[in-house]
Structure formats: structure tokens, C-alpha cells
Structure 1
Amino acid sequence: MTIHNITATRRSFLAGAGLVIGFTLAPKVFSAQALEGVPAGGAETLSPMNAFVKIGADDTVTVLSKHIEFGQGPFTGLATIVAEELDADWSQMRAVHSPADDKVYANLAFGLQGTGGSTSIANSYEQLRKAGATARAMLVSAAAAEWNVPASEITVSKGRIKHDASGKESGFGALAAKAATQTPPAEPTLKDPKDFVLIGQELPKLDTLSKTNGTAVYTLDITADNMLYAVVEHPAHFGATVKSFDDSEARKVQGVVDVKQVPQGVAVYADNTFAALKGRAALKVEWDLSKAETRSSDQLTADYTKMFAETGIQATHNGDVDKAFGGQGVQSLEATIVFPFLAHAPMEPLDAVFIKRADGSVDVYNGAQFPGMDQKTAAKVLNLDPAKVRLNTQITGGSFGRKAQFGSPYMQEAAGVFAATDGRRPLKHMWTREDDIRGGYYRPMYVHKMRGAMGTDGQIVGWDQTIVGQSIMGKADLDSTSVEGASDLPYTIPNLRVIAHNTKLEIPPLWWRSVGHTHTGFAVETFVDELLQKVGKDPVEGRLALLSKEPRHMGTLKKVAEMANWGSPVPEGRQRGVAIVKSFDTYVAQIVEISLGEDGAPRVHKVWCAVDCGVAVNPNVIAAQMEGGIGYGLGAVLFDAITLGDGGKIVQSNFHDYRSLRINEMPAIEVAIIPSTEKPTGVGEPGVPPVGPAVANAWRRLTNNPVRQLPIVNVLSA
């Protein structure tokens, strides 16, 4: 049995010997012998130290990334941190996914191994600095012993170890085996940040070459001899279950091997993808809708709005809000804003490969955002000890939160489909684009009710906000992810009240890129802008007056205003809008310039973006994440909604009716990174929230029409 699509990089990683700060690492992709329990290329013994750096005999340095690489840059960021403290040359650096281990590779923000919340660099910064510094100290100790010279006289620079007095010099690889026997320092000495030579530089991403020349291996690329392909027919209504099915026509399709009912629907097994899909299309399934969600999106909106009159959960209550609205000379403004369900729509839909070995253990290959959780879930479904399930994390074509599912429901389905076979044939379980768009686990639908009061001095004296929507965490009490960005407003408002209502639906919710800030950022920043306009205040100067106690907010906003030359004349037929949102401890301010497009919708020409994310580990990655976040957020605010039609049936199915921003619609983007000595914070998500309200604010000033429902284009064309 052979697994194909093994890259040369992975072969060299598996076969090379050298220093590893970590424990024994199982191969990521197995040869025919390894599948039968015989290690490929001989057993490799790795030093049981602690857990992130491998140095090969060829001088390469491989960083074991505890965070999945799905385009947001942890391979490059973590390798940069290690290389800095190791004094390696960037050309030496490599990165691979670490094994699944919730203890050794725990995300320090979560307590288990996982990627999300823009925490990859933030939680790993000190940890990986120490890993790099430890490896450097061990190499120096090995060199001192080998050359019989004092360690204090040895220098390391650009991957070369030197002792000037004796003229001795070495690369890392020649000393790696001996270094692995050295005792690591309990507290390695870290560099003074003023001495950084790599951190802060625009280094090329480690995964760019393989992703552009086609050698990068995704889960969908992995094949094995005699492999089965499986797809599942899911219901078109959330909460529906299989009542009965007729598979007679499906079984007539050449290549279809079997059809089985599973808890999530009906699985079709075939010798190839085409047969599996054709067989699924031939199924006749009768669904039980007795417990299904049958309300339309319009009905849900009406039901959500009714909850404004009910007693909710208090998130924030400062001052006397009701009194503030009754003050003499106070001007007030009200708004209700509707946010739709949003799918994540990553380029690579969910998929997984299962291979059973002769000893009864199982290898699982997938884009695991929570590897330990996926491993344990697969083991439970397959009735195996978790030690008998090896989870091999693959690089992944996007996620945006889609693969970060507590309880691993996708793995439950995929493992269940494999468990329903005898396990003799490897199996690839796949979701199509339609499965993904219609598969739930959406950014929930929310409705906000806003009330604001402006005093006679033009200051906001009262703010009353009610948020209705599902708790992503499934909580009965306050879910902080529903109100983040609203309950902790940066603006100085003496009387502030934020109330939440949790709704119960059959539609499974999930965090979506920037989580609660996707809707609170829009609601807050458009409403602040309207209030300022109501009393004739400039959008930037008015915000700065409200942010006097928030210096990093102010610095970011001032920078973006400088970049856009705010206050200068705007070209005829255009308008500008501004927004600033702090999310995941990162401050992002954006100004957009728009016009009225030929289709009557906003045409975004330029986005200026200023970001304060603490120490900028790799400005190239930071800028790329801001650009990607702007494109992602802009596509959503303009075009995207998952809607339920009459009877609750899902309307959208693919990119033709749930579309991404097209290349000709992408605006010019200018990014500035605020210099900082603060600890680094995340950049994967914070670029998303400001662009929507900035566009809506520009649109309101251009057309005099405030945006009360998203997406903008669909609402305009309705």
C-alpha cells in the first residue's frame, strides 16, 4: 500500500538525523513499509527534551508548529522567532506541523492544542524564543566541549558557530548530535529586543514556494492504493433526520461500492470521486422534519425583534442610562441592524483520510485546527485507544474558524463513515462546496437595537444596545463572544447599557473570522458615526475626543487619518468612511474611499489600514493578513448571507449565490504597522471588522442612506 504525493521536503525531514527539542515524532506521511509497522529509512531517535526545534545534519532548522498553517502564517512567524534566538540564517529555516498532543503542544490561551482567536504568535512568542535560545545554548555547549574552549568565547551568527581565537568554525548540523546530549539551560538567556536582526524584517513566507509550484500537499491531495471515496447526503433543513431512503438507483452507478445510513445522513462509498457524487445524486431520501428548523430568515428576524421587549442578560450597565435619555436638550437616535448567517466558505472544504494499519491502529490525515480533539473524537468513534490513532495535521486551504469545532462534529461524521466499513480499504471522506455552504456551523444571525443620546456639548451621554442571537458557546447565561466589542466600548460614554438575548435554533453556530466583532464592530462604528454626524462632528476628530483615555486607539486612528490625508478634498462622486476596532488585543483603523458603482452598489477604490499589534514579528505576514482580512470582510459585507427560504430550506449552495470578492473588485490597500515594544498580538482576524462599518459610513455620507441590514448589495437589489 502506498500513499502518494509525498514531498521531498517531508522525506528529508523524516529521514534526517539531528537535534530535536521535543519528543519522538511520528512520521507525517508513511511509506508502504511504515504502513505495515516498519519505520521508513530506519528508526529515528529524537531527544526527549522540549518540543519545538529540530536541527538536521544538513544545517537545516525545522520548527515544529503547534499551530495549523492554513494561510495565516504561523509556520513563518514561529520560525522567525526561533531563528532570531538561535541566530540562524533564514535560508536554513523549515516548519512542519507538530504531533497531536494537548499537553506538550497546548495553546497557552486555550489549555489544549489548537489554533484560533488570533493567538498563534501571541501565545507562542516567549515559548518559542526560549526554544530557540535553548537550542543555541546547547549548540554552544557542544562546540565548547568539542573544541575544548570556553563557551563564553563562542559566537553564533547567521547559522555559523565560531571561536575566533582558535579559528574553529562549524555549521549547526555537524554539532547537532552532540548538542542533543547536552543539558538544556533551565532559563536560557534571551536577546534584548534592540538586538533583533530577523524579528521585524519582511522575510519571505516559508510555504510560498510549495504553494505556488504545486508541491504543497493538502488533505485532498492524499491518495492511497485501493482507496474508497465517501460522501454523505445531508438534509436541506437543519435538525432533519433520515426517515427512509431508496438506494437502488445509486447502487447501479458504476463504481459505487456501498450505501449506508449514518447519523448525519446517508453515505455513499465508491471507487472514485465521480462515482460517489453520481451515486449520491441518485439517492432518494425521505426526511423527518418533525424536529427541524422550518422558519424562514424573515420569520427569524421577526421573532428576534420581539425579544427586545423581554428581559435579557445584562452585559454592561454603567451610570443611569434611562436618565441620560431624558436630559434637557438631549438629541437621540435609534436604529435596528440585522446581520445574516454567514458561512466560512474556505477554498478547501472539509475532508479527511483514514488508513488502518496491520496492528489495528489508524492514521488520520486532515486539516486539524484542534488536533488533540480530533484525535480523541476519532478514537472514540472507532472504539480505539487514542494512542492507536495518529492524527497527521495537513496544511489547509483556509478555515476562518470553520475547522475550530469543539466536539469535532466533522470528525464524528468522517470517522463514523469509516467505522461503518470493515476498514480494509483506506477511505477519503469529502464534503463538496455545496455540503460546506449548506452545512451549518455559521456565524450566527444577530439583530441589534441601538439607542444613543447626544448632550448639548455634542458628546455621547447615553448608549443603550440590545443584541439578540445564538450563543456560540451554547450558554444559557452571558456569552462574552456575543457582546465583545460592545460591552467593552473604548469610547468615554458615562451612561452605558448592553443587554444580550440568547436564542435557541437547530442551526449549529460557530465562530467566524473575528467572532463577535463581526457584528458588534459594525453596529458600534456605524452608530457612533451617525451620532457624530447628527451633531456636526468630524468622524475622526469626534472619535479622538471620545478616545482620550485610549492612547493606542488614538495612535492607530491618527496614523490612518495621516495616511489617507483625511480632511483633504475627496474626488467628485466619491466619499470616505472611517472605523476603528480593537479585537484580540490588536488595534486596527481603516479608512475607505468609495463611489456609486454601475450596478448601484458601493464600489470600493482604496483602503488605508493602520494596525498596532505590538512587536511586529514579520511585517510581510502582518500586511498580508490585513489585506486578506479586508478582502474577506468586504466580500461578506457587500454580498454574503445564508438565508432560509419558506419552510426553512437553505437557499445558497455555492459561490454563484454565496460569492467571494472578485479580483477586479479588490481595492488598492495601503497598510502601516505602528512601531511598538508591546508583546505581539494576533493579526489573523483583526483586519476584518473595521472594513464593513467604514464602507457603510462612506455609503451613508454618499447616498444619505444608513445601512440597517447586511449584505449591502443583496439588500439594495431586493
Structure 2
Amino acid sequence: MSQGLLDAQNGKAAASGFSRRSFLKFGVTVGAAAGGGLLLGFSFNASGQGQTAKSVVSGDGIEAPQDGIFQPNAFVQIDRTGKVTLVIPKVEMGQGVYTSIPMLIAEELEVPLESIVVAHAPPNEELFKDPLLGGQLTGGSTSIRYAWEPMRKAGATARVLLVSAAAQQWQVDPASCHAERGQVKHAASNRAIGYGELVDAAAKLPAPQSVPLKDPKDFGLIGTAAKRIDSPEKIDGTAMFGLDVRLPGMKYAAIVNCPVFGGTLASVDDTAAKKIPGVTQIVKADNAVAVIGDHTWAAKRGASALVVKWNEGKGAALQMQHIVDDLANASKRDGAVARKDGDINKAFGDAKTRVDAVYQQPFLAHATMEPVNCTVHVRADACDIWVGTQVPTRAVDTAKQITGLPADKITIHNHLLGGGFGRRLETDFIAQALKIGKQVDAPVKVTFTREEDIQHDMYRPYYYDVISAGLDANGKPIAWKHRIVGSSVLARFAPPAIKNGVDPDAVEVAADLPYDLPNQLVDYVRQEPRDIPTAFWRGVGPTRGTFVVESFIDELAAQAKADPATYRRGLLGKSPRARNVLDVATQAAGWGSTLPKGQGRGLSVMHAFGSFFSIVTDVTVDDNGEVAVNRVVCAVDCGMVVNPNTVEAQIQGGIIFAITAALYGEVTIKDGRVEQSNFTDYRMLRLSQTPPIDVHIVKSAEAPGGIGEPGTAALAPALTNAIFAATGKRVRQLPVGRQLLKA
């Protein structure tokens, strides 16, 4: 998800009368949370004790606070025992928001992190909308960027009210009191009172219109290496993912989807399937058949026994080369202009040297550790959904469409996500589960096999980039032209984001480079891949754009016979933060030192998601063209850091994700079908192949930037530039293995 989407959706939010300012005001003054049913879901206690949370934050509308609960806003609840429950507006999918967002609140609330309980936020756009995304979504590396101020204000508001309640009780000036570790203290009289004893009095006080926030120099929790709240439950197995749901009387469904995109079901012979012990029902859908069983094994065996005929349609003739040819032909058309500076034609005419290149990047599956799954119980008058989703309110909308029920009869039980990466921004698998569930008189869990997951994903688009530069006599670029050709995820996901034909995600990074380029033209040609569905994939635009831009900058450095780091440094005069991370990364990596034959070192620089990155990668390429990544060094300036442990982990995870994709990741189409089916042919990086990853976090006083996707987006060009340094072979088409084997 992109900054372009953030900007477009932010405008949408403002147009609806719900601005960022009004959100901040609403978030810290609402006296109660939304009602219409209790949030019943797994929550985490920071001391490591898992429990079922009962929260008053749920549903639509606003209810009065429950007796004995102090709830000054949608995010903070304190009961008479002093238990602090924090309702987190983002979902946890491994990125650490169930630790970092509580740190923001706890810092201002003055409670120990280990004492709080974390609960999932229910679907509620009014209370839990991210103004940067225009909805209740988790994506786009926005969680901390969005939460930085509102969550601190939520904690500070609660603290101010508790201090005021204690001061009234003691009949002293609130300024003479302070909060500390879940208590209000009055130093002059040596008195102290716990938050739990103040909840009734604090709940009666009017919320302040504004609250002071701590100066960063006074932070005691923010910026420290805090242990993750969700780790103990994930280690001992008590953490609840969607796949862990078990309900009384629950049935299990195994899916057989049409193998051809756009195809439909013609007929099914289920005679053999019905004879398998444990199979209870066969359910048909437009493009799938589901076998319902008393347990997963029965359902899977039943699915294997089906004899299905499909109406494959025109999609059965689709081949991979058709998609590539469509893109190549589309690249000859003029695109919608995303950026135009200077006189590009004159600049090319004045150039001493011209460099042209075409870059291609393949379809990619998400292949999340937890395959997509959804458990539903559809009745005539209500519907319950147990799922891990990045878009809870969209899940409600999908349920409304499929079931015809109103929102107040639909309950989403959101769970931890075993990997999101954009896959769980989609609700296609929820819709399919509901269509099946409508035909089953019991709760039913629908789980994709790994084969169904990979072959019926919504894929990172195939992109085709045509790029050219004109260099002056010193090898400096004076003309830059970049045409991006590919699918528009935003045209489907958020149509208002498309302005004048430009998909802001598709052109991100490419249209806003950190380099000083006086004459440039960046345009976009939308070309959809016929029937292949496309979606976000851990940073689509920046991932695509950084690979092309940073590979091509390396080509220009080679053309100019210049050191790649020195060449970049000379173009970064107007971007000191980008230049600084470049310097930090190259110094830490020992840039310029001699490597043995067959080894190479490459780098990249990126500004995306509000953060600045530079990556240096060392590789070895053997005589068979097999690439081993020996080491990765990364410097990141992501502004003020909430939890350095989370930052480091996200960078490491993103880099590993990106190495896998750059070396091996590719989804190909033959006869309208995805050829890959499992990790045997959609290869993953193994533990033994994972390099040391050295992360250097640059201290910064700037506002926080995103961290979930930048590591993935910045890695590939550093890797392929290192391959060029080792072999002299320029990789312009991913995955790497395909091109090296060709050579």
C-alpha cells in the first residue's frame, strides 16, 4: 500500500467531514466506545497471561460506560481493580503493533507495560479509522505514523483525569500531583492512590479539550527495547490465530476451486466423496466445490474423490507470454503523467550519452505462513465470522452483501494474523466462506490448502518498466524518462485514489526520487493482466519502483565509470537524510574493500513510507549461477523510534522476504492456470541460506516513518547490483535465477 493511497484516502476522509484533526479530538474526548454487542476475543496480558477479554468497545453507535469502568476514550479502559485494557485499532500480524502502540499509550498514561492487557478493536470506522488510509485498515506501514499522536493523547487524557480525581479527593492543586506506575502521588504529603480506586470519580469528570504531551527527552518507555507482549502466548501455543478456532458442532470444509481464472463449475460427481466416513455434505458454488466433513481429514479425502468438470472459458487459452506481450505493447503508448520537470526532449538532445533499459518483475504470491482461512456461522437472523483480517469493516461489508443481513447482526471475531503482507487486505476468502456457510446448518471452517492458497491468490502485479537517461560529459544524468506499465491495484481497491489516470501506488518512489534530476518525465500506462487478480504485496509501488530506479542508477554509475556509492552521493545534495543513511550503511559494510573472485557488493538507497533506507549486500555467485547472499547491512532513518527491537525485527523479516522473492519468487501462467503449487516450486529461502543482517538505526528527531515494508522494498536492487559487481551480468528481470540461468 502506498503514500499515494494515503494522500487520496486522506482527501476522501476530509471530504466526508471527518478530518485528521476531528479524529484526534474525537478519539480523546468520546466518553464511551461504540456499543451493539460485546467484543469477545483473545487478548494479551503483558505479563504473559492469556485471557478472554470482555470489552465495552464494540459495534455501532455510542453507549454509556459500564459501571466500574473508566473509559475516557475508545482506547483506554481501567476497572476498579486497576486493570488497564488497551484497545488497539490495528491488527497484529507479526509487525509488533500490539507492543509498540501500547507503548505510546502507556508512556503518557504512566503505567508499566507489563501490567496492561491488549484487546482487538472491533469493526468501527468512526472510532478506529486511520485517517492516513481513510478506513479501519492495517497496511501501508502507517500504524505508528498514524498512532504517534492520537494514542499518546489517549493515554495523556486518561492520566490527566485520574490526577484531577485524586487532587479533588485530597483537596490539593492537581499541579502538585503526578502519575507514576499506575498510581497518582502527592509528594508533599507522601500520599499515593491506585488508578483502580479513582475510576468512579474520574469517570464523572469532563474530558479536557487539550492535554500536554511529554517532551521526547522525558520518555521513559518510548525508545526502549521492550519485549513483545504477544511473544509468551505465541511460544506456549495459547495465542489465537484464525486457524486455531474451534467451536461446538463445527464442521470443516475443503475447497476445490476452478483451476482456470474466470472459469465456472459445470458439473460434479460426488458419489465417491459421499462414501468417505466423516463427509457430511457437498456444497457447490459458482466456481468451486466444497466438501464438508466432521474433521479436516474427511473433508480433504472427500475433495480428492470428487470428479469435477469445469467451464474453463476463454481463460484456458491464456499463456504467460500473452501477458508479457500485452505489457510490452502497452509500453509503446503514452502514459498518464505522474511527474514532469524541465524540458525532457531538449535534455536528451543535449546529452552526450543515452542509456536505455527494460525491467520486468513477475507475479508474486503472498504464501503467508498461515494459509487463508475463515470460520463462519450463518443463520437466518445473524452471522458470526472468525478470521484474521487487515480490514475488519470491509469484512462486515462483504458479509452484508453475501448474507443480506444488516451490520448489527454481523459479528467479526478478529484474531492474530499468521502473516498478512497485503493478502488479508482482501475479503475474497471471507466471501467464499460465507457462500459455503449459508448452505451449512452449523459453524464451518473453510481452510485453503497450500496448493489452493498459491494457485488462487491475488498476486503482486507483473510490472514492465521502460526507462532511459541522458548523461552529460561528466556522466551525470540530465534527462530521465521512466514509463511504468502494469495493473492498477488501487483502481479496484480504492477507485477515488486514481487521479487523471495515474495510480499513485504504481508510480511511488519513481515519481518522487531523492536524487537531483533536473529534467524528468514519469508516466504510467495501466495494463490489466486479463483474468489474473492482483493485490498489494508488502509494498507494491515502492518495491517495484526501488528495484528499477536503484538498478538503473547503478547502470548509470557503470556507464560513467564511477563508484556506485560516490555516484549516488553526488546526486543526493538535496536529501541529507538519504545521503546520511547511505554513508552509515557503506561505512558499516566496509564499502570499497576488495572481495574474492566470484563475490560482489551492491547497494541501494530509498525514501518511501516516510523512512530513509540504504542497504548494502554481499553475494557469491558460483559457476552454476547459484547466488548465495553472504551479508546484508542496512541503515535506516525512520524518525523517532518507539521500539528498536520491533524496528530491527521488521527490517530483518522484510529483507528475508525480499531475498526469497528476488532469488526465486515467480508465479507463471500456462493454459489459464498457475503453474506453481507449493513450496516445492514456489521456493522459500531456507534458514541455512539466510545471511547475517546488520541493522543500524539512525537516531532522529523527525516524526516516525513506516517500517513494515521498507526492508522488502529496498533489498532487491542491492542484491542484483552485487551480482553485477561479482559477474558483470546486469539483472533486469526477476527472479534472479531465471536471468542468470539464461545467461
TM-score, normalised relative to structure 1:
0.91
Shift in alpha-carbon separation, 1:717–1:248, aligned structure 2, 3 A: farther
Distance in 2 of aligned mates of 1:438 and 1:290: 18
Q: CA offsets, 1:275-308, max 9 Å, x none?
A: 1111111112221122426322223212311222
Q: Give the aligned CA root-mean-square deviation in angstroms.
A: 2.2
Unaligned stretches of 5+ residues in structure 1: 1-18, 35-42
Q: Look up the match of 1:6.
A: none
Q: Say whether the 8 Å CA contact 2:604–2:616 is kept in structure 1.
A: yes
Shift of 1:571: 4.6
Shift of 1:48: 6.1
Distance in 2 of aligned mates of 1:291 and 1:272: 37
Corresponding position: 1:472 with 2:495 = no
Q: Look up the match of 1:343.
A: 365
Corresponding position: 1:409 with 2:428 = yes
Distance in 2 of aligned mates of 1:494 and 1:255: 69
Distance in 2 of aligned mates of 1:68 and 1:442: 22
- Secondary structure of the 2:315 match is coil
Corresponding position: 1:289 with 2:288 = no
- Name the stretch that deviates more: 189-198 or 566-575: 566-575
- Name the stretch that deviates more: 106-115 or 87-96: 87-96
Corresponding position: 1:380 with 2:401 = yes
Q: Look up the match of 1:428.
A: 445
What are the residue-to-residue correspondences of 1:25-44 with 2, within 5 Å?
26-29=38-41
Q: Look up the match of 1:398.
A: 419
- Secondary structure of the 2:505 match is helix
Shift of 1:45: 7.0
Q: Look up the match of 1:680.
A: 704
* Counterpart among 136, 146, 151 of residue 174 in structure 2: 151
- Name the stretch that deviates more: 375-384 or 578-587: 375-384
Shift in alpha-carbon separation, 1:148–1:585, aligned structure 2, 3 A: same
Corresponding position: 1:88 with 2:111 = yes
Corresponding position: 1:175 with 2:203 = no
Q: Look up the match of 2:509.
A: 485
Distance in 2 of aligned mates of 1:590 and 1:278: 47
- Name the stretch that deviates more: 604-613 or 564-573: 564-573
Q: Say whether the 8 Å CA contact 2:178–2:186 is kept in structure 1.
A: yes
What are the residue-to-residue correspondences of 1:84-123 with 2, within 5 Å?
84-123=107-146
Shift in alpha-carbon separation, 1:146–1:263, aligned structure 2, 3 A: farther
Shift of 1:90: 2.1
Letter in 2 for 1:628: G
Unaligned stretches of 5+ residues in structure 2: 1-29, 43-50, 55-65
Q: CA offsets, 1:354-376, max 9 Å, x none?
A: 2358x933321111211111012
What are the residue-to-residue correspondences of 1:234-253 with 2, within 5 Å?
234-253=257-276
Corresponding position: 1:261 with 2:273 = no
Shift of 1:119: 0.7
Q: Say whether the 8 Å CA contact 2:340–2:521 is kept in structure 1.
A: yes
Q: Say whether the 8 Å CA contact 2:599–2:725 is kept in structure 1.
A: no
Q: Say whether the 8 Å CA contact 1:26–1:99 is kept in structure 2.
A: no
Corresponding position: 1:691 with 2:712 = no
Shift in alpha-carbon separation, 1:500–1:224, aligned structure 2, 3 A: same
- Name the stretch that deviates more: 160-169 or 471-480: 471-480
What are the residue-to-residue correspondences of 1:310-709 with 2, within 5 Å?
310-327=333-350, 330-355=352-377, 360-405=381-426, 408-422=427-441, 425-474=442-491, 477-504=501-528, 505-571=530-596, 573-597=598-622, 600-645=625-670, 647-709=671-733
Shift in alpha-carbon separation, 1:267–1:320, aligned structure 2, 3 A: same
- Secondary structure of the 2:283 match is strand
Q: Look up the match of 2:61.
A: none
Letter in 1 for 2:390: Q
- Secondary structure of the 2:368 match is coil
- Secondary structure of the 2:300 match is helix
Q: Say whether the 8 Å CA contact 1:55–1:172 is kept in structure 2.
A: yes
Distance in 2 of aligned mates of 1:125 and 1:506: 41
Paired residues in the alignment total: 684
Q: CA offsets, 1:518-552, max 9 Å, x none?
A: 21110110010011111111111111111111121
TM-score, normalised relative to structure 2:
0.88
Letter in 1 for 2:239: A
- Secondary structure of the 2:328 match is helix
Distance in 2 of aligned mates of 1:47 and 1:388: 28
Percent identity between matched residues is 36
Distance in 2 of aligned mates of 1:465 and 1:538: 23
Corresponding position: 1:300 with 2:323 = yes
- Secondary structure of the 2:131 match is coil
- Secondary structure of the 1:206 match is coil
Distance in 1 of aligned mates of 2:244 and 2:448: 14
Distance in 2 of aligned mates of 1:594 and 1:59: 54
Q: Say whether the 8 Å CA contact 1:237–1:294 is kept in structure 2.
A: no
Shift in alpha-carbon separation, 1:597–1:217, aligned structure 2, 3 A: farther
Distance in 1 of aligned mates of 2:738 and 2:370: 26
- Secondary structure of the 2:468 match is strand
Shift of 1:634: 0.7
Shift in alpha-carbon separation, 1:47–1:162, aligned structure 2, 3 A: closer
Shift in alpha-carbon separation, 1:44–1:169, aligned structure 2, 3 A: closer
Shift in alpha-carbon separation, 1:183–1:23, aligned structure 2, 3 A: farther
